[in-house]
Amino acid sequence: MRQLRALVAVAAASVAMATALPAAAHEPWDDGSIPPPPPASAADGYSKDMHLLSTSAHTGGVNSDLAFKGSLVFAGHYGGFRVIDLAEPGSPVELADVHCNGPQGDVTIHGDLLFLSVDTPQSTEACEGSRNVTASTPGAFEGIRVFDISDPADPTFVKAVRTDCGSHTNTLVPGEGDTAYVYVASYPLSASNIGPDCQAPFERISVIQVDGDDAAAGAGARVVAEPTIKGVDYFGAAYGVTPFYACHDITVLSPKKIAAAACLSQGQLWDISNPLQPVVTADIDTTGVDIWHSAAFTPDGKYVTFGDEYFGPAKEPFGALWTYAVADPSTAISHYRIPRSEPNTYHNFNYVPLADRYVLVSSAYGSGTSVVDLTDPAAPKEIAFYDMRSNQWSTYFYNGLIVANDISRGVDTLRLSNKAVAGAKKLPMLNPQTQEYLIG
């Protein structure tokens, strides 16, 4: 997520360690006003079963989230997104680098469409000439940009969809047939971004509907609902800003029509039987956790794990994974933080699609990539890690590989030679925040 401005800079978004991100970065090819992110943290090493196969370097702007289709990786960054072919994991081929300024680059795919989050006001809706401006600039745009990726070597801009407060993250919610919905989460970040439709306390998400998965359908994408999300605590007073309600990221388990919302004060579970009107079914409030950053369901849907975004010194229990039973999330079954001395956060993660075990793969900013066995949810244990001058925003397991988008370096592809992930289901595609299957 992009670095926040003003006093909420180190608290309300998914930024890297305090020195890891510049504020609202341009790509250098735009105007050169913002340099690339600085080098990552010092190397702590790696477990013997983690093997780096390749790095597809991208050192221009901040690298952010990932989505997958076949052998392709769609890697978001603050200046657009890249398309990388991992058919040969040791020799990645960059097919395209789409220059489209607009932090923060959260990406989601639906058939031949890609949705790109823009959470800094831009001078234009389209890509050409897009520059960071303020919300007071006439015609300024924030929201979702839609691209046609039917030719992955030549993605084309289709449409921009304005959403209130922009788009910090976006999550695909499958509908009937080829229809899909995009949940857009954001919030009033600072005075420079607050406009007439982005006022504290806010307390809502935007829902975009797209009636198909090709360019023609993308051209018809539009906001169809702005449901109010009840029950989230106020956030921001401790940081000197007007308190607001907000959810940071949303993870969907579509076979059960439920979602887990990681919000800036607590977690929630939602019933999304009607995707236009999510219903809060549980509030998950844990003392000492200010920013629930991300969430993931186990492959069988029995448990949900939330990550705590934390920026202080290494200290129990902060920056940890917290796991709850979906049937009764009133009390955490366990929490687990990385067993190393540097500050860390479990940031963006997913569960390996396994029938008989729970294995979670996560980015951890300066602590690199961490693999945690939660087969016994009450006794989590790190079983592998990779931290070589890392600054990793997103790390996911996909079809036998571990793929990380390193903020500073680019896309790392790793292999985990550990029997814990043997027998993992292969998937035709993956939006990590949209689980479209149940196993077990």
Residue 30: CB atoms within 10 A of its CB come to 18
- Report the amino acid identity of residue 145: R
Q: Are 365 and 40 in contact (CB under 8 A)?
A: no
pLDDT for residue 157:
98
Identify the CA nearest to 205 among candidates 169, 159, 161, 178. Answer: 169
pLDDT for residue 234:
84
Q: Report the distance separating Cα 409 and Cα 59, nearest Å.
A: 6
Strand 206-211 relative to strand 410-416, pairing = unpaired
Identify the CA nearest to 382 among candidates 346, 435, 330. Answer: 346
Q: Are 259 and 250 in contact (CB under 8 A)?
A: yes
pLDDT for residue 312:
82
pLDDT for residue 420:
97
Give the tokens for residue 399: 């079809």
pLDDT for residue 231:
80
Residues forming beta bridges with residue 252, ordered by sequence position: 259, 434
Q: How far is CA 29 from CA 32, 45, 58, 79, 122, in A?
A: 6, 33, 13, 9, 16
Instruction: Give me the phi and psi of 232, to 5 degrees please.
Output: -75, 135
The side-by-side arrangement of strands in the sheet containing 80-85 is 93-99, 80-85, 72-77, 63-69, 429-430
Q: Are 19 and 38 in contact (CB under 8 A)?
A: yes
Q: Report the distance separating Cα 342 and Cα 46, nearest Å.
A: 15
Q: Quick check: helix, strand or coil at residue 232?
A: coil
Tokens 């081929």 belong to 93
The answer to whether the peptide bond before residue 36 is cis (omega within 30 degrees of 0) is no
Q: Are 295 and 262 in contact (CB under 8 A)?
A: yes
Identify the CA nearest to 393 among candidates 411, 405, 402. Answer: 405
Torsion (CA) 438, 394, 172, 69 in degrees, nearest 10 = -80
Q: Are 262 and 247 in contact (CB under 8 A)?
A: yes
Phi-psi bin for 373: left (phi > 0), alpha (psi -120 to 50), beta?
beta
Which residue stretches of the chain have pLDDT < 50?
A: 1-29, 32-35
Q: Are 350 and 396 in contact (CB under 8 A)?
A: yes
Sequence-distant (≥ 6) Cβ neighbours of residue 384 within 8 angstroms: 47, 49, 50, 370, 371, 416, 418
Q: Quick check: helix, strand or coil at residue 9?
A: helix
